[in-house]
Amino acid sequence: MDVFMQAAIDEAKKGLAEGGIPIGSVMVINRRIVGSGHNKRVQDGDPVMHAEIDCLRSAGRVGRYKDAVLYSTLMPCYLCAGAVVQFGIKKVIVGESKNFEGARAFMEAHGVEVVDLDLPECKDMMAEFIQKNPALWFEDIGKL
């Protein structure tokens, strides 16, 4: 397991332990984690506090993002994909996209390399969460 994806998975588990949605993210520049976060929509009562947004906030102002790699346990949604494109992040590595297709085509259309690792741990964690919390999940993805 890639240490950076493992860090994103650890973030997702933190979110789950806090009563939130198990999605985690880390940003890496020059093989060093510069930001990390997890979905905090439930914990903070903030509809836009997705894992990738929390991660970007954690990283703060890094200046140039073209050398950054964003790791996420789940394929980013359009909100988070928009942030990736806006800041010029050129590579996104995701744990899975089976439970949520996300905005892969949007990112790729804007020159972002997207790598889907299709990890059983990520798929199983999300599938179990969705099964136990369907209303919360559909709220998160705007499909209530």
Catalytic residues: 52
Structure tokens at 87: 């800041």
Q: What does the buried/exposed string (b/e) look like for 75-97 if buried means 16 or more CB atoms within 10 Å of the residue's CB?
A: bbbeebbebbbebebbbbbbbbb
The H helix count followed by the E strand count for the chain is 7, 5
Instruction: Determine contact, residues 78/110, Cβ cutoff 8 Å.
Output: no
